[in-house]
Amino acid sequence: MHNNLGGLIGITDQQYELLRAIDVASAEGGAKPKSIEQAYKRMTCKLIQKPNLFAQLKDLQDSGFVLKSEGLYRVNKEKIRQSLQKRKDELKITIDECDSLNRDVDKIFRTDQNKMVVQYRNFTDSLRFSAEKLKEVRFYKRPGNIPSFAYSELLGNLTGTTEHREIMRDYCQKGKLKVCYLLSLNPTRAFLKAYNALKDKDLAFREVKTCYDNLAKLTKFPNVEFRYLTTHVESITLYLSDVSNLIALPIRSSVHGLSGFIWIENKGVCDAYTTMFDSLWKNAKPITEAFAKKVAQQKLKELKVFASKHE
């Protein structure tokens, strides 16, 4: 029940479980670290190490979701309500933007309007939809920074992209799909995704390094090709086949976050974007294993500077 509360207020699943454990411990006579640990174990059937327990409690205090008085912890319900209201306001803005886009689609996309299908899907639904489309199309073309195809198992699970990655690997290995990534190799978004989930800059940095290591290995993966552009191009994704052409346009909830995608099925629109992509692709530098490692060294140095400025 209400398992998505943590995501809506911006905390991890483990932190949400700790909030529930604090609430249970409070009702049983007082939420001290020991009683919280015991309640957490009963509720989740999992152990939590004391260093991690105290670190998570501190994060929850710092973010205002937990209050502490005379050695006892308690859940700050007012902070949760405020966070939910803020999230509701943000979602309303996104919905209003989608409604506005929906009304103006015919003005924005004039090519062959009678044969155009336009849908909005939220981020989670878009991942599922994309995974299914990978099984149907011949080509997947996408510009980006560091692709989710190179994420670690941990980062894939945190971002919900594991199934998408595995289907892509499977269909590429079978020769049913050709994947073309046009990459800037900028690590900022991957770093912020990892940091927002892990709340630890060192762990987030290591996740980004793993992404680069994986990418270097993937340069030899069958039917996958990476090329390098120094300038980032927005992540417009093309799904191309002999019978269907589909494009996904991202809708951002923040600079580094996606709320969903506008999906457009229309040959004319896809042809225009494919021409643009192929032109950039033609002039971009192929990413070899050696080149990926060389760029990664420089990007990781830049990332350390970026992370230090956001202490």
108: left (phi over 0), alpha (psi -120 to 50) or beta: alpha
Provide CATH 1.10.10.10 ranges for the chain.
5-82
Tokens 């249970």 appear where? 24
List pLDDT tens digits, range 216-268: 999 999 999 999 988 766 678 898 887 678 999 888 766 556 788 899 988 88
β strands within the chain, DSSP E: 66-69, 72-75, 117-122, 139-144, 178-183, 224-228, 237-240, 245-252, 258-265, 285-286
Provide CATH 3.30.870.10 ranges for the chain.
109-309
CATH 1.10.10.10 fits 5-82, yes or no: yes
Q: What is the pTM of this model?
A: 0.60
List pLDDT tens digits, range 169-204: 999 999 999 999 999 999 988 898 888 888 889 999
Buried b (16+ CB within 10 A) or exposed e, 238-258: bbbeeeebbbbbebebeeeee
pLDDT, position 306: 75
List per-residue pLDDT tens for the chain, 311 residues long.
456 777 788 888 888 888 989 989 888 888 888 998 888 888 888 888 888 888 988 999 898 999 988 889 999 999 989 988 988 888 888 888 888 877 776 666 655 445 688 899 998 899 999 999 999 899 999 998 999 999 999 988 888 899 999 999 999 999 999 999 999 999 988 898 888 888 889 999 999 999 999 999 999 999 999 999 887 666 788 988 876 789 998 887 665 567 888 999 888 888 889 999 999 999 899 999 999 999 999 999 988 887 776 55
> 109-309 is classed in which CATH architecture?
2-Layer Sandwich (3.30)
pLDDT, position 241: 83
Distance CA 160, CA 220 (A): 25
pLDDT, position 310: 55
pLDDT, position 113: 45
